[in-house]
A and B are shown apart, each in its own frame.
Chain A
Amino acid sequence: MMVQLGEKMTYETLRLTENPFRLTPPLDQKEIFWAGMHEVKDNIEKRIKIAMRTQPSRIVLNWGSYGSGKTHASLYFSKTNRLEEISADLGASPAKSIKITLPRSSNNIVQEFLRSFLGQYSLEEIYADFKRLEEEFNTEKLIEMIDAFSNDNSIADAFKKFIKLDLENSDEFNKFKNYIYGDNTKSTLTYLGLPLGLTNDEQIANFLATIINCITYEKKLYSTFLIWLDEFEDIDTVKKSLADRFTTFLRQFIDKTPNNLILFLNFTQKAFMDIEDLSIYLGEALTSRAKAKIDFQNPTIEEAIEYVQELCKHYQKGSSTNPFDTDATIKYALEHIGNLTARKINETFSIIFEMALLEGKEQITQEFIDNIKDEIIAWEE
């Protein structure tokens, strides 16, 4: 029987602060945390620790079904302070992590990638980091680094201009920003005193490589730089010519960043129309470097129970008791939803909690789940 909608309708009845199961990834840092799936987390952290301690750049392929937690992993390591904890444990310099979704909406796919990059690591932050580098080493050394890492005179010139910019002069800074975003009009170039615009893909690769090579130089400022490229499997939905362009860019970018970069490529194990996997998109150069793979395996029933419990615990009020009568109830639900993924578990338990809220239940039992199973999309008899 439904209770009247009223003041009492909160998750407090179930001794929770909120529904622990969400359908969309959280944005607020406080809401991002890791539940269950310890093996995957350990594997990722091992990779990160190796990267913090050693030089060579790496590509790591994250594999898993839809909703197996790949996007969540990239958010977790990019937005929470977990990386700080790891680097502190190791006594290493901090690491920087950004998440970029495979660009798909624009015809200038490389420019779109650049924009996403700078959206997460702004030019102001980069400027501040370069200033710190200048202090850490000295101006001559920084210029030496720029010359060595940029592979391109006009990019080197741009960086030399960049480190001399006056942040107070917002006009100048904005002009430089426009330049980075491809403004190559004569007035801008003359104003900045730069000979060429930043227009072709290789220059953009040089530009990004210079940033990463400098700020991770000798692991002083940052021990490693992490880029999570999410939804990479959708490369097969991008126009062929754009896909070619993007993977060529990616190869150049990796080649020019030989140290201190980890590129995590998130792949959903979907099927493709004509090919068996994405190696043709990555090309020999990237495939051969992508030795490391992390398998976001579907959890076993036991792992899934642990996941559900840990999530509930996170939202539990004080030291109150579990909303489920027994573990067998959780198991019962998990056994009836087919192949398990984090997303499917979230969807299922989100509905269970919502229905429990609507019906004013204080405890979730197998009988209750049976009563509402028609509401559960993934339910299989």
Chain B
Amino acid sequence: MDINDKKLLDILTSYTKNIYILENTIILEYDNITISLEIDNQLTKNINEYQNISISLLKKIKTIEAISINILMGQEYYNKVLNIAQFYYEFFNKFIYIEIHYDECSHQYYKINLPKKQLINENFTKQLIKKDFTEDKELLNYLPFFPLNNLILDIPRSITTQTKVRRFGYLSIILEMFNDSRYYPSNIFNKKIEQRALQYNKLLQDYIDDKGLINISKTGNSAKPYIDLLISLKLLYYQNHTYQLSKYGKTYTILFSKLDLNSEEGNKFALNIFQKSFYLWFLLQNDMLYLFALLEIIYIQNNDTTAGEIKNGFQEYILESLEFTIKYSKLSTKSKNEINKIITRIKRWGKPEVYLEHIVDPRINWLLDLGLLNKEKYLLKRISLSKSGLKLLSCFGYFFDQSEEKFTISRELRCHNFFNIINIIYDINAKEIQKSNLILVEKYIDESFSLFKTIAPNRVTASQAVLYTCYMMLFKENIIVNFCTIKQYLSSKNNQKFIFDWYKTENDGSIRRKNDL
């Protein structure tokens, strides 16, 4: 055995509780973690199951080939992985990456590969094997969620952004302009926004800082990135040289006026709880990859980092995350080919620092607007997740534990659990829906027929009616009901009031009232 391996083995065995062996794998058990060593020679006769051995036998090891931490899925949590990653980052300023493994007894576990040269750092390794990574951390361990099964998966989505789109408050200002006019011709829309924004400039400065300010420009360029973002988030729609609210944008404006919740601090840019949760829905829908990755990176970087440090590791982290998805997700091969294309594109970023300015900087402000970052720290130029941010990260981690899907289950989350997530992260304290509450659901769907009236007779777009109902139930009735719960009710025999059609291709449907009622 070479001198480094010997030294390493000395450190590793100094606190171990139990040692097991099976073929070329040695398992070292500690109080809180399990480390596995791959060696190149066999120490015992052929056996079929793990066998307890004594430390002395380890002297026969020739070379330690690989070292990893194993975390049993289903019993321990992804949070633990994040905490180990954070600990590792603190020492080495590097990310660690995980794999998912099955052992002979079909236990499934997260496998964190650790480079040997780092483990020789005695200080690190000693702390690693003694530390309890589940204790004393801000991530939540228990979450009362609807279990996910028969998952419909999406490829990890992200939207293209320009560094200027920093403030969700402007999105609200633009969407509310459609209360004055049903549509805006494209040649005047930019200027109209700039004029409208002018009256809010002072408010923006009072908010936190004036990043992302829309100013009067000759060309209308100042408003353009925000219009593009609204289009990417599918809140605006462009056709026939005019801008119009999309079906979701319409839902926003109606909910906004119906709920009439005050913005915090009376400032347009400090979003109210409805606005936060509404935009979060659309970020999950369209930008899950960057959103989830950013939360993780901030957390791993000791939950106290800077925009610069995030950007340093971002490209690598995204690439690894996408590779991970290709390797372990149950996505179709066709979708995985799509991911490969994304990987190729990201690898080709000529100047990552330029790209990342457009990706990371806006999203940091979005997280701040959504209340997911700690505002006090932000003012000191430090990026740190707020309690809400940590809770959201825990939710994502929880679903990863449950489904082994990371960036791909946004649709399922929105459908089955979104309003629970909102309830948890923003401390709303709402109750789960009971059967007796269905009458309220019917009432809000009924209302949506007049609120979302279109040229089609007796018909409302399902996503509008259902989202409207979900948000009204949460914010008016203090009751959690998810999109899919309502969808299921509409398709069930319990529904006597409405005719419900659902179209898979559009992932939407229509609701009509029954005539004879």
Contact = CB atoms under 8 A, between A and B. Distances in A.
- The reply to whether chain A is a binding partner of chain B is yes
Interface in A267-285: 267, 269-283
Given A275-B237, A275-B244, A275-B247, A269 B459 contact: yes
Nearest to B508: A271
B462 interface: yes
Interface stretch (A24-32, A95-103, A110-118, A290-298): A290-298
Interface centre among B234, B462, B503 (most CB of A within 10 A): B503
A243 B239 contact: yes
A271 B240 contact: no
B515 A276 contact: no
B250 A276 contact: yes
B515 A297 contact: yes
A248 B240 CA distance: 9
A321 B183 CA distance: 60
Contacts of B247: 272, 274-276
B457 A63 contact: yes
From A267, A271, A287, residue with most partner B Cβ within 10 Å: A271
Contacts of B105: none
Nearest to A272: B506
B246 A269 contact: no
B453 to A, nearest CB: 10
A271 B237 contact: no
Contacts of B463: 271
Contact of A63 (B237, B456, B503): B456
A274 B503 contact: no
Nearest to A298: B499
Given A271-B503, A293-B455, A293-B457, A280 B515 contact: no
A275 B242 CA distance: 13
B464 interface: yes
A16 interface: no
Interface string B480-517: 00000000000000000001110100111110100110
B452 interface: yes
B456 A272 contact: no
A240 interface: yes
Interface string A243-267: 1100110000000000000000001
Interface in B423-476: 452, 454-459, 461-464
B241 interface: yes
B183 A269 contact: no
A272 B455 contact: no
Nearest to A235: B239
Contact of B454 (A240, A270, A279): A279
Contacts of B461: 271-272, 276-277
Contact of B503 (A248, A270, A281): A270
Contact of A276 (B454, B457, B500, B512): B454
A281 B461 CA distance: 17
A336 to B, nearest CB: 12
B516 to A, nearest CB: 6
A274 B501 CA distance: 17
B455 A287 contact: yes
B242 A280 contact: yes
Given A244-B240, A280-B237, A283-B240, A273 B456 contact: no
Contacts of B509: 271
Contact of B455 (A61, A247, A270, A273): A61
B452 A281 contact: no
Given A280-B244, A300-B516, A269 B237 contact: no
A65 B501 contact: yes
A180 B250 CA distance: 44
A240 B186 CA distance: 15
A65 B499 CA distance: 11
B449 to A, nearest CB: 12
A339 B498 CA distance: 10
B506 A277 contact: no
Interface string A308-332: 0000000000000000000000000
A274 B246 CA distance: 5
Interface residues on A, range: 20 to 34
Q: Dominant SS at the B interface?
A: mixed
A248 to B, nearest CB: 8
Given A271-B463, A271-B503, A339-B499, A276 B239 contact: no
B508 to A, nearest CB: 3
Contacts of B237: 274-275, 280
Contacts of A269: 456, 459, 501, 510, 512
Contact of A275 (B246, B499, B507, B512): B246
Given A271-B462, A277-B456, A339-B499, A240 B239 contact: yes
A339 B501 contact: yes
Nearest to B459: A269
Interface string B217-255: 000000000000000001001011110101110100000
Contacts of B248: 274
Interface in A112-150: none
A185 to B, nearest CB: 33
Contacts of B234: 274
A291 B455 CA distance: 9
A58 to B, nearest CB: 15
A276 B464 contact: yes
B180 to A, nearest CB: 16
Nearest to B510: A269
B239 A280 contact: yes
Given A271-B463, A298-B499, A278 B508 contact: no
A275 B251 CA distance: 11
Contacts of A281: 239-240
Nearest to B458: A295
Contacts of A272: 247, 461, 506, 508
B239 to A, nearest CB: 5
Given A271-B506, A339-B501, A276 B458 contact: no
Contacts of B515: 297, 300
Contacts of A244: 239-241
Nearest to B464: A276
Given A274-B246, A276-B464, A298-B499, A63 B454 contact: no
Contacts of A275: 237, 239, 244, 246-247
A244 B186 CA distance: 14
Contacts of B464: 276
Contacts of B183: 280
A274 B231 CA distance: 10
14 contacts: A240-B239, A269-B459, A269-B510, A269-B512, A270-B503, A271-B508, A273-B508, A274-B237, A274-B246, A276-B461, A277-B454, A280-B183, A281-B240, A283-B240
Interface of B: 183, 234, 237, 239-242, 244, 246-248, 250, 452, 454-459, 461-464, 499-501, 503, 506-510, 512, 515-516
